[in-house]
């Protein structure tokens, strides 16, 4: 009880101190709100003509995202399992695995690009690889947390039937997390499509580049077109992913 209370107080102090340090001011936010509308107004109406123009980069982005996310997602599976305390019970394994995971997540996109361009040149390959590394970070982290939270009953049952570790994982862990894993996978796919800036850094084109270009021309109506286009794509992905999750599992 007291501990919870102290934790609570700690969090409050943290928030309060941060607010002071960063000069948060609610009133200036409210005062400044109308300024936001001038920018939003510039976005309307969207430039419908621009749609046809961005279809190709959008498809390219999707294509690279499919490959990159898949590679990252596949690589994430062993890491997610090795990082989970309830799967490998040895700190010798799960601590290093988690550390690797955290380390890879910390690499900024720009540094990834700086590393890949000298090795692989510019173009799709480094783009896909960069997406893969990025997706790996997200999927591994989220998947590992859901593995740690599974119901232990079926695990016990698999232990009791004498399953070896791999069978134990496949019959006890996997069915319980597949749905969540799929959803993290698709979530990461979605991120890769909408914030494909990394593709631009390695000269792989993609929709992120178009967003930057339209922005640097202050063509906010085209920005809105890109947003709407991305939204449509994301909704379609969402729809498909829900169907897959419902039907397959």
Partner 1 sequence: ACGSGNEKTSGEAKDDYVPKELKIGFVPSQNADTLEAKAKPLANLLQKELKIPVKVTVTTDYNGVVEALGSKQLDLGFLPPTDYVMAHKKGYADVLLQALRYGVNPKDGSNTSQLVDWYKSIILVRKDSNIKSLKDLKGKTIGWQSPTSSAGYVWAAVEMKKHGIDAQKDVKGVQLQGHDKAIEALLNGDVDAVAVFSDARNIVKGEYPDVFKKTRVLYTTAKIPNDTISVRPDMSKKWKDKIANAFVKIGKDPKGRKIIESIYSHVGYTKSKDSHFDIVRQYNEKVKDIGK
Partner 2 sequence: MNQAVINKTPKKPLKRRIKNWTILIAVVLIYLWAFIGMPDINIKDSAGQAIKAIISGLFHPDWGYIYDPGGEDLIHALMETLAIAVLGTFISAILCLPFAFWAARNMSKHQWISNAGKFVLSAIRVFPELIMALLFIKSVGLGPFAGILALGFHSVGMLGKLFGEAIENMDFGAAEALTASGANRIQTLWFAVIPQVMPAFLSYTLYRFEISVRSAAILGIVGAGGIGAPLIFALNAHSWNRVGIILLGIIIMVTVIDFISGSIRKRLV
Partner 3 sequence: MIEFKNVSKVYPNGTVGLKNINLTIERGDFVVIVGLSGAGKSTLLRSINRLHDITEGEILIDGKSITAARGKSLLSIRRDIGMIFQNFNLVKRSTVLRNVLSGRVGYHSTIRTLLGLFPKHDIELALNALERVNIKDKAYHRADELSGGQQQRVSIARALAQEAKIILADEPVASLDPLTTRQVMDDLKRINRELGITTIVNLHFIDLAREYATRVIGVRAGEIVFDGPVEEATDEKFSEIYGKPIDEDELLGEAK
Site for partner 1 contains 154 (CB under 8 A): no
Contacts (CB under 8 A) with partner 3, residues 220-249: 249
As a dihedral over the C-alpha atoms of residue 171, residue 176, residue 179, residue 180, rounded to 10 degrees, the angle is -130
Dihedral Cα 204, 210, 213, 219, nearest 10 deg: 180
> Are the CB atoms for 113 and 122 separated by under 8 Å?
no
Nearer to partner 2 among residue 110 and residue 157 (C-beta): 110
Which among partner 1, partner 2, partner 3, none contacts residue 222 (Cβ within 5 to 8 A by kind)? Answer: none
Nearest to 227 by CA among 215, 217, 239: 215
Interaction of residue 194 with partner 2, rule CB under 8 A: yes
From the list partner 1, partner 3, partner 2, none, which binds 209 (C-beta under 5 to 8 Å, kind-based)? partner 1
Q: What is the DSSP string of 69-126?
A: HHHHHHHHHHHHHHT-TTTS--HHHHHHHHHHHHHHHHS-HHHHHHHHHHHH-SSHHH
* C-alpha closest to that of 189 among 26, 68, 53: 68
Q: Give the one residue of 74, 122, 154, 183 binding partner 3; rule: CB under 8 A.
A: 154
Q: Which two tokens stand for residue 180?
A: 């969540």
Q: Give the whole-angstrom CA distance, residue 208 versus residue 107.
A: 19
Q: Is 161 in the site for partner 3 (CB under 8 A)?
A: yes
212 binds partner 1 (CB under 8 A): yes
DSSP letter for 237, please: H
For partner 3, the binding residues in 168-207 under the rule CB under 8 A are: 170-172, 175-176, 178-179
Nearer to partner 3, 20 or 249 (CB): 249
Question: Of partner 3, partner 2, partner 1, none, which one sits near residue 40, judging by CB under 5 to 8 A according to partner kind?
Answer: partner 2
- Considering only the stretches 76-84, 89-97, 154-162, 192-200, report the one whose residues sit in contact with partner 2 under the rule CB under 8 A: 192-200
> In the block, which residue shows the tokens 């967003």?
211
Task: Rule CB under 8 A: say whether 95 interacts with partner 1.
Answer: no
Q: Cα–Cα–Cα angle for 233, 117, 119, nearest 5°? A: 120
Site of interaction with partner 3 (CB under 8 A): 151, 153-154, 156-164, 166-167, 170-172, 175-176, 178-179, 249
Site of interaction with partner 1 (CB under 8 A): 32, 35, 38-39, 113, 117-118, 121-123, 200-203, 205, 209, 212-213, 215-218
């Amino acid at each position: 009880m007291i501990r919870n209370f102290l934790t609570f107080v700690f969090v409050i102090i943290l928030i309060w101190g941060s607010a002071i340090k960063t000069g948060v001011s609610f009133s200036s936010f409210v005062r400044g709100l109308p300024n936001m509308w001038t920018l939003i107004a510039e976005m309307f109406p969207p430039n419908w003509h621009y749609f046809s123009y961005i279809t190709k980069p959008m498809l390219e982005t999707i294509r690279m995202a499919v490959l990159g996310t898949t590679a990252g997602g596949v690589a994430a599976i062993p890491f997610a399992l090795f990082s989970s305390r309830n799967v490998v019970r040895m700190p010798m394994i799960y601590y290093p695995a988690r550390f690797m995971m955290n380390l890879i997540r910390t690499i900024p996109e720009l540094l990834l690009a700086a590393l890949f361009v000298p090795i692989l040149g510019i173009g799709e390959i480094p783009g896909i690889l960069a997406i893969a590394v990025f997706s790996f970070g997200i999927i591994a982290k989220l998947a590992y947390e859901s593995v740690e939270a599974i119901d232990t009953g079926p695990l016990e049952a698999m232990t009791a039937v004498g399953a070896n570790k791999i069978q134990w994982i496949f019959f006890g862990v996997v069915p319980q997390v597949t749905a969540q894993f799929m959803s993290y996978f698709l979530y990461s796919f979605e991120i890769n499509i909408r914030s494909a800036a990394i593709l631009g850094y390695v000269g792989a084109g993609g929709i992120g580049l178009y967003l930057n270009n339209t922005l640097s021309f202050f063509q906010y109506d085209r920005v809105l077109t890109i947003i709407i286009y991305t939204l449509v794509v994301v909704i379609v992905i969402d729809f498909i992913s829900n169907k897959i999750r419902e039907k397959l599992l």
